[in-house]
Amino acid sequence: MDFDDSPDERTFRCECVAWLSANASLRPDGAAEVWKSYRPRSEDEDRVGFAAAKRWQATKAEAGYAGLTWPERFGGRALPHRLDGIFRAEESRYDVPANAFQVGVDMVGPTLIAHGTEEHQHEHLDRIRRGRRVWCQLFSEPGAGSDLAGLSTRAEIDGDEMVVNGQKVWTSGAQSADWGILLVRTDPEARKHKGITYTLVDMRTPGIEVRPLRQIDGAVHFNEVFLTDVRIPLANVVGELNEGWRVTMTTLTAERTAIGGGGMVQFKEVLMLARHMGVDQDPVIRQGLARLAGRYEITRYLGFRVQTAASQGRTPGPESSIMKLHISRLYAEAGDLYEQMMGAAGMLWHDDAPYGGFFQGVFCAQWAPRIGGGTDQIQRNVVGERVLGLPGEARLDKDVPFRDLIRG
């Protein structure tokens, strides 16, 4: 792959920069002034921020910069992923709420384009693209852990509806979501990867209770969701009844790619912290900075691999797992280095801490990308089996009906 911009990439980058400059302001260089006043936002501030994110998403959609890779008939521009990557890279330089609609735009949208009915696409895609319909992902369960196919939320068919009972957990943004993508078990007699159905659910449906989970930094991002006799039309099913695992793989691949390409602290900002703490000449710290600089470069080149697969018409598979696993390790190593550079000040919080506790917050947040979208252990299995060609992990439950599995 040629890492320099081709003529069409250069033209598109100039187009993006011109539009962004006309519609947004650049972030402060290094974000130092912003971080000095950093603190977790209150719930009221979250609501104000979310309203701003909706306005920005609508602005992008109106100008043709939302859902860039989507087909034109769904409001996109059918651009290759490499050009979408250019827009996101340039957008990250501006002071705008860029990733508030990641579940809808990056996960639900591609899934409905690949597997949804015309009714699903007509009802949801334009609203997703414009930020008018916010989505959450109702996959994880307390009793399933990393074994997503071990989910036990059950759905019984009743006429032209399904009646759902169960619990989901770690549901990002459920407190603000209008709709959710939901996995349920519709055939407990089948093997666990069979008998799963993928459906869409209106979060205002009676019987849905969202309970926010307050995190270590005081913010609310994740939620528990309880479903009690929730009635969902069968018309909301994506794909076929009991065949939801294939649809799920489309969503998970998109999620891993989105997480792998997610924003993070830039290396120049890590250097800023080292200089601020007066440790940039410490030989041990400098070794840590050198290792981290290497990881940042590896991240950049892995991103090129994912974009190359997409631009060649291949759905990123193992590439996205490798990327996500690497991002997890980058977050872990970076978080440890932040604390090492701050020394005793790393135990402080909010106004008492360097940069208002921003780097402590990043350290505490590292476990979200290491667990969400498939844990590091799951990604290693994918890489071992699908990239290195190692024998598959021994599975005693492969041919056992779900109802006969020992759980809990």
72 is catalytic: no
Alpha-carbon span 243 to 66, nearest angstrom? 30
Q: Which two tokens stand for residue 323?
A: 């990327």
Count Cα atoms within 13 angstroms, Cβ side, for 363: 17
Query: What are the residues whose beta carbons fall under 8 Å from the beta carbon of 396, sequence distance 6 or more?
Result: none
Q: Which two tokens stand for residue 201?
A: 């659910």
User: Which amino acid is it at 234?
Assistant: L
Residues 142, 152 contacting (CB under 8 angstroms): no
Give pairs for 27-33: CB < 8 Å, separation 24+.
Answer: 27/93, 27/94, 27/95, 28/95, 30/268, 30/269, 30/272, 31/269, 32/272, 32/355
Task: Find the Cα–Cα–Cα–Cα dihedral 284, 285, 288, 292, rounded to 10°.
Answer: -160
Catalytic residue among 90, 141, 255, 319: 255
Alpha-carbon span 201 to 181, nearest angstrom? 6
Residues 265, 334 contacting (CB under 8 angstroms): yes
Rg (C-alpha) for the chain, rounded Å, is 22
- Please give the span between the terminal C-alpha atoms of the chain, in angstroms, as a whole number: 48
Residue 362 burial (CB count, 10 A) = 15
Instruction: Please list the active-site residues.
Output: 255
